[in-house]
Amino acid sequence: MTHRILFAGLSLEAHSFVPQRKRLGDFRTLRGAEMWRAVGDRSTLAGGMEVARTCGWDVIPVLDMVGGAGGMATDDVVETFWQAFDTAARAALTAGPIDGVWLNLHGAMVSESLPDVEGELLHRMRTLPGLERVPICGVLDLHGNITPLMTAHSNGLVAFRCNPHTDGKEAAMDGARLLDRIA
């Protein structure tokens, strides 16, 4: 059976002491089918997408936003991600059930209004009709902070182990394989 899996990412290593804000234009953003361009590179997105291809998943690519490191994100960054995810998830659910969600996260993202961006987004995902119980897995940077909201609303987030991040792609692949086993 082919699994229908939503793919998305929002990653920023936010430093709340840095006065400059990360704005939408500071993020490298891939939307929809553009996300497949990562296949073959060393990115975490590539790791997830390559496992999806190997497993024969029906991937529903939403968007992947990567901001690197810097100050807190402006709130519109988070809401832009959420609106795209919410719209894509609801559209995908009208075509049939979703079997899982794979996420490319950092784990240390802070916005102007949210001290736990990843936890908030995972919580919102669980409130969507049809995603309440699907497995949600993905990848985190080793500098991430695991919060109660993140653990309550995800099934498995695999973190890098090396600094420099020579194992990011492999950690992402482990997160995708975990999703496949759970789904």
In angstroms, the CA 131 to CA 36 distance is 24
3 state SS for the chain: CCCEEEEEEEEEEECCCCCCCECHHHCEEEEHHHHHHHCCCCCHHHHHHHHHHHHCCEEEEEEEEEEEEECCECHHHHHHHHHHHHHHHHHHHHCCCCCEEEEEECCCCCECCCCCHHHHHHHHHHHCCCCCCCCEEEEECCCCCCCHHHHHCCCEEEECCCCCCCCHHHHHHHHHHHHHHHC
Handedness of CA 72, 63, 123, 153 (dihedral sign): negative
Whether 1 shows a pLDDT value over 80: the answer reads no
Give the pLDDT band of residue 87 (cuts 50, 70, 90).
Answer: very high
How would residue 117 be classed by pLDDT, with cut points 50, 70 and 90?
very high
pTM: 0.97
Which whole number is the average pLDDT over 90-115?
97
Question: What band does 147 get if pLDDT is binned at 50, 70 and 90?
Answer: very high
Task: Specify the pLDDT at position 160.
Answer: 94
Looking at residue 143, its pLDDT comes to: 87
The model's confidence at residue 68, banded by pLDDT at 50, 70 and 90, is very high
pLDDT at 111: 98
Per-residue model confidence (pLDDT) at position 164 = 87
Q: Give the pLDDT confidence score for residue 26 in this predicted structure.
A: 98
pLDDT (average), residues 130-143: 96
**Per-residue pLDDT at 183:** 94
Q: pLDDT confidence of 122, banded at 50, 70, 90?
A: very high
- What's the pLDDT band for 19 if we cut at 50, 70, 90? very high
Percent of the chain beyond pLDDT 90?
96
Q: If you average pLDDT over residues 5-30, what whole number do you get?
A: 97
Per-residue model confidence as pLDDT tens digits over 148-176: 999 999 999 999 999 888 999 999 999 99
